Amino acid sequence: MERIPVLRVGEILVVSIQVDLHDHLAEALQEDIGKAIDRWSAQGVLIDISGLDVVDSFIGATLGRMAEMAKLLGAELVIAGMRPAVAITLVELGVDLPKVGTAMNVDRGLAMLRHSLKRRGL
């Protein structure tokens, strides 16, 4: 089965989605992120979605669940690289991502997470 790699950079996990994210792959990624947070005691998760051209309500909801799960495990989640069309689709679908930070690109997302970790004394 196809998997999306979850990489560790210090206390931050980095996930770059560069393939079409179908439902089963999204569910597997959610599980992999949870296991990686636990295994490495990660404090932050950066998900780069710049490779996603389209999303549906299931993928949007899954991103929200990933953020909730990360928070419950003590990590902050930031989504980077959201394209305008993806943002518009999420708004049109009514997908709410209240616990998700967003950044224009991976560099800004990492800076955001590092700043947050520093502020928390980690």
The full DSSP string for 89-122 is HHHHHT---TT-EEESSHHHHHHHHHHHHHHTT-
Q: Is residue 80 part of a domain?
A: yes
Mean pLDDT of 97-110: 92
Domain count, the chain: 1
Is pLDDT at 77 greater than 80 in this prediction?
yes
Q: Mean pLDDT over all residues of the chain? A: 93
Cross-strand partners of 77: 45
Cross-strand partners of 120: none
Under the banding of pLDDT at 50, 70 and 90, the label for residue 1 is low
Range of the domain at 52: 6-119
CATH code of the domain containing 95: 3.30.750.24
Q: How many CB atoms lie within 10 A of CB 35?
A: 11
Q: Is residue 1 part of a domain?
A: no
Is pLDDT at 122 greater than 80 in this prediction?
no
Predicted pLDDT at 53: 87
Q: Is residue 79 part of a domain?
A: yes
Is pLDDT at 47 greater than 70 in this prediction?
yes
Question: How does DSSP classify residue 17?
Answer: -
